[in-house]
Amino acid sequence: MNTYFNEITSTPINTDGGKILYKIPAGAMCGNGDLGIVFNNDDKDLIIHISKCDFWKFAPGAHNDGGIKTVGSLRIKNVDLSDYNIKQFFDKGLLECKFGSVGMEFFVAPENIICFELRVPESGKAPSVEIEVPDTCGSLNAHSSENGIECHSRKFEGKDLDRESAVTVCSRVLGTREADRFRYIRYGFSVVTNFDDEKYTDKAINMVMNCDYDLTKARTQEKWEKFFSASKVTIEDKEIEKFYNSSLYHLAGCMGNRQFPPGLFGNFITDDFFPWAGDYHMNYNYEAPYYCIFSANHPELFDGYMAPINDMNEYAKKFAGFFGCKGYAFPVSFGPKALDVFTMAGCKEHGVLFLGQKSHAAYACVIPIMHWFSTYDKEYATENYYDFVLNVAAFWEDYLVKEKGRYVIKNDAAHEIPYYRCEKFKYITHKGQIEAVNAINSLGLVKLLFYGVYDMAKELGLNSEKYPLWEDIIENLSDFPTFIKHGKRCFRYSKRGIRWRNENTVGLQHIYPASQIGLASGEKLLKIARNTYFINDRRLDDNGSNSYLPAGARIGVEPEFLLEGIRQNIKEFGLPNRLFRHHGGGIEHLTTVPATINEMLMQSHEGIIRLFPCWNKKSSASFENLRADGAFLVSAELENEQITSLKIKSIKGRKCTVECADIKAVIRESDKKEIPFTKDGNTVSFETQADTSYVLI
CATH of the domain at 136: 2.70.98.50
Give the neighbor-by-neighbor strand order of the sheet with 609-611: 602-603, 609-611, 656-659, 683-686, 678-680
Average pLDDT over residues 681-685: 95
Residues 122 and 207 grouped into a single domain? yes
Q: Is residue 354 part of a domain?
A: no
Residues 672 and 537 grouped into a single domain? no
Q: Give yes or no for a contact between 240 and 597, defined as CB atoms under 8 angstroms apart.
A: yes
What digits encode the pLDDT tens for the residues 243-274?
999 999 999 999 999 999 999 999 999 999 99
Residue 396 to residue 325: CA distance in whole angstroms? 8
Q: Is residue 591 part of a domain?
A: yes
Residue 651 to residue 433: CA distance in whole angstroms? 45
Residues 443 and 587 grouped into a single domain? yes
Q: Which of 547, 566, 601 is the last residue of a domain?
A: 601
- Whether 585 shows a pLDDT value over 80: the answer reads no
CA distance to 38, 278, 430, 536, per residue, from 498 (Å): 42, 29, 10, 16
Q: Which of 213, 232, 251 is the last residue of a domain?
A: 232
Average pLDDT over residues 97-107: 96
Residues 534 and 660 grouped into a single domain? no
Residue 487 to residue 346: CA distance in whole angstroms? 44
Residues 394 and 521 grouped into a single domain? yes
- Whether 596 shows a pLDDT value over 80: the answer reads yes
Among 107, 112, 90, smallest CA distance to 6 is for 90
**3-state SS record for 517-560:** CCCCCCHHHHHHHHHHHHHCCCCCCCCCHHHHHHHHHHCCCCHH
What digits encode the pLDDT tens for the residues 13-68?
876 655 656 688 999 999 999 999 999 999 899 999 999 999 999 999 888 899 99
Q: Give yes or no for a contact between 107 and 313, defined as CB atoms under 8 angstroms apart.
A: no
CATH of the domain at 460: 1.50.10.10
Q: Which helix (H) or strand (E) holds 633?
A: strand 632-639
Provide the number of structural domains found in the chain. 3
**Proportion of the chain above pLDDT 90, given as a percent:** 89
Q: Is residue 195 part of a domain?
A: yes
Average pLDDT over residues 133-155: 96
* Burial grade of 670 (CB within 10 A; 0-12, 13-18, 19 or more): exposed
Residues 149 and 180 grouped into a single domain? yes
Q: Is residue 332 part of a domain?
A: no
Residues 223 and 111 grouped into a single domain? yes
Q: Is residue 429 part of a domain?
A: no
Residues 388 and 514 grouped into a single domain? yes
- Whether 534 shows a pLDDT value over 90: the answer reads yes
Per the prediction, the chain carries an average pLDDT of: 95
Average pLDDT over residues 10-15: 82
Q: Which of 232, 260, 291 is the last residue of a domain?
A: 232
Q: Is residue 312 part of a domain?
A: no
Is this model's pTM higher than 0.85 or not?
yes
pLDDT at 392: 98
Task: List CB contacts of 491: < 8 A, sequence separation 6 or more.
Answer: 440, 480, 481, 482, 507, 508, 510, 528, 529, 532
Residues 630 and 552 grouped into a single domain? no
CA distance to 18, 46, 243, 318, 697, per residue, from 14 (Å): 9, 15, 21, 43, 53
pLDDT at 18: 58
What digits encode the pLDDT tens for the residues 186-235?
999 999 999 999 999 999 999 999 999 999 999 999 999 999 999 999 99
- pLDDT-derived band at 347 (thresholds 50, 70, 90) equals confident
pLDDT at 524: 96
Residues 545 and 632 grouped into a single domain? no
* Burial grade of 13 (CB within 10 A; 0-12, 13-18, 19 or more): exposed
**Proportion of the chain above pLDDT 70, given as a percent:** 99
Among 278, 1, 218, smallest CA distance to 94 is for 218
Residue 108 to residue 620: CA distance in whole angstroms? 36
Least confident among 5-19, 73-87, 454-468, 502-516: 5-19
CATH of the domain at 672: 2.60.40.1180
What digits encode the pLDDT tens for the residues 166-179?
999 999 999 999 99
pLDDT at 17: 59
Q: Is residue 214 part of a domain?
A: yes
For CA atoms 413, 417, 421, 425, give the dihedral sign. Answer: negative
- Whether 558 shows a pLDDT value over 90: the answer reads yes
- Per the structure, the complete domain to which residue 548 belongs is given by 236-307+361-400+439-601
Residues 486 and 627 grouped into a single domain? no
Residues 684 and 637 grouped into a single domain? yes
Q: Is residue 327 part of a domain?
A: no
